Structure 1
Amino acid sequence: MVNEEVISHVVPFVLLLMSDCTVSMAYSVIKSVDWSISCLNGDQDLNT
């Protein structure tokens, strides 16, 4: 059996990981959309 103390330590950690993953996924989606838009506009500056 897993005691409640372990659960209370693990749950916040898992939530933190999940939110971190969501944030980085959202960030990369936004970056690729930004890049696609600037590419469509003819601004092909890859440094941004």
Structure 2
Amino acid sequence: MDRFAAPAYTHPQCEVAVNNRMRNIYTPQVVVNGRDWPQWGNAQSRI
């Protein structure tokens, strides 16, 4: 069981996925201007 999971986060994540035509929902998920950034942590370290 994920101790950080909460039902309060599921609905907003699903809305973001539907609005941006995403197929997958996962945590942590970063969406910027409708674009999914699955490697956002790696991108931040290169700045």
Q: TM-score, normalised by structure 2?
A: 0.34
Higher helix share: 1
Higher strand share: 2
Q: TM-score, normalised by structure 1?
A: 0.33
Return the index of the structure with the highest Cα Rg. 1
